Structure 1
Amino acid sequence: MVNAHTRHPVYRIAIGVDMEGSTSRSNREKSVLRGVVHQAVAESLAAHGVHGDDIDRLVDLGDGVIVLIRPSDRVPKTLLLESVVPELSGALRRHNEQFPNLAVRLRAVVHAGEVHFDEHGQFGELLDVACRLLDAPRLKLALRETSAPLVLVVSDDLYWSVVHHGYDGIAVPSYAPLVNVRIGSVPRQGWVHVPDEPRAWPHPLPS
């Protein structure tokens, strides 16, 4: 979808993923793994009723993807955190057990905000923040420190508007403020969570 009035931003929820160690893979392996990742993300969303008209054109990252979800009462942010992300982690675990030579581990992000559309696709601070959080060295380290197939980072905005309130299925102590990045001159924080290892982090933690 292209916003007919490109000067106006529109609100979207972003869920994105990026593969660990993709640069060490051959192009043929990357081709297979891209298919695995796209399918796992699509099926994890569809399993909880997110598909079709809920989703804009995907933002392809080469070794990952960002899905922009249109606002709807059927797709609250809590659904992504307590259902879709664990579903994706489980799908990756099953794939990795079946195909250990093509195992996939992902860094994931959930953020929300304003985005613009033009004839080239989507752009705006929402994507800047999501991509910078996904690529944060501290998030990469968090994935290396666990055997889980996925680690999640949520933006500070999302943490305080959703996670902090402790809705059903969201374990607040399992989110830690490990990531600090800058968008231009503005610092932005990210909260890290490992779905398969719902540990309790001491607060506050150093970045």
Structure 2
Amino acid sequence: MRDPVNRTILLFDIEKYSDRDDVEQAWLRRVLYDITDRALERSGIDETLRQRADRGDSVMELIDAGASVPALLRTLLTEVPALLHGYNRLASSSAQVRLRGVVATGYVAVDEHGGWVGSDLNHACRLLDAPLLRAALRERDNGFALCVSEGVHTGIVRHDHQGVPAADFHPVTLTSKNGPLQAWLHGPVPSGTADLGETGAGETPVPGASGDVPAPGTPGAKAPATSVQAPAAPGSPGRGGVVFDFGGGSPRFGGGLVAGDQHGVSGGQVTGDVYLGGTVGEGA
């Protein structure tokens, strides 16, 4: 195996490829190759600076580290949606092309069989397959959803280069079999992704929190339900009930009893057992 080399990694995947018949799949692959070639050419990346691997419904490109990543991102954000629009406006409904894309950086080695090996490449592939990116594509009118790795964001996107507006990228946490992956999604974070175990900006899960109610002390927070078990009434072994139930708002009394002499707050006194909201002899 050759030594690993630093490369920019570009991945494209076709949405719902396996739902099409053989003729449609062949058409989709031609479109995918054409869009990839044209996007890289318009980014100033010629064939001498790239290697391609075919994965059927997806394509993987290893791009020389000396090629301009800002130029690549500008092309992906503008040219790819335009190319997709040009194809789709002339294609039948069964031949529509919609793409997920990932741009990452890292070290990749080529083994003796021509295969590509590297944890950075694995990371990029998992970003491409993440449910959140699939959900984002379903909400994109332009047919393209792009995600970049943390390294690409740190080195390129956050610096707000011309044509690559940093404000349009949002931090997301994606799930994978090896744990959560941090990345940046271009465009709005899709709704409902927390149900997929994935989160967007401002939605980072808090360990141990259910998310059902606000934390105590915050606006709208309700006190947890609290109950006090009443003692058994004389002659009714084991009978008791909930006397106080504080579920937020005013206390509610019902179905329980208070046994023994009771002293009021203002100094008054009630002698004997007091029943609240029920009658003696009712079932527990």
TM bucket normalised to smaller: 0.7 to 0.9
Tell me whether 1:108 sits opposite 2:139 in the alignment: no
| Count of aligned pairs between the two proteins | 191
Distance 1:114 1:92, change over 3 A: same
Instruction: Identify the structure with bigger relative contact order (alpha carbons < 8 Å, sequence gap 6+).
Output: 1
Residues 129 and 183, structure 1, Cα contact 8 Å, conserved in 2: no
CA distance in 2, matches of 1:21, 1:152: 17
How big is the shift at 1:157? 1.4
CA distance in 1, matches of 2:175, 2:72: 23
1:78 to 57, 70, 74: 70
1:44 to 39, 43, 67: 39
Name the stretch that deviates more: 43-52 or 33-42.
Answer: 43-52
How big is the shift at 1:183? 6.4
1:152 to 143, 146, 149: 146
1:33 to 28, 32, 44: 28
Letter in structure 1 aligned against 2:181: R
- RMSD over aligned CA atoms reads 1.9
Name the stretch that deviates more: 112-121 or 78-87.
Answer: 78-87
Counterpart residue number, 2:175? 181
How big is the shift at 1:85? 4.2
CA distance in 2, matches of 1:157, 1:206: 21
Name the stretch that deviates more: 103-112 or 24-33.
Answer: 24-33
TM-score by length of 1: 0.85
CA distance in 1, matches of 2:117, 2:158: 28
Name the stretch that deviates more: 125-134 or 170-179.
Answer: 170-179
Structure 1: segments with no counterpart, 5+ residues: 198-202
Distance 1:96 1:161, change over 3 A: same
Structure 2: segments with no counterpart, 5+ residues: 189-199, 205-284
Residues 22 and 63, structure 1, Cα contact 8 Å, conserved in 2: yes
Counterpart residue number, 2:50? 55
Counterpart residue number, 1:23? 18
Please tell me whether Structure 1 or Structure 2 has the larger radius of gyration of its CA atoms: 2
Q: Which protein is richer in helix relative to its size?
A: 1
CA distance in 2, matches of 1:117, 1:44: 24
How big is the shift at 1:182? 3.7
CA distance in 2, matches of 1:100, 1:70: 37
How big is the shift at 1:97? 0.8
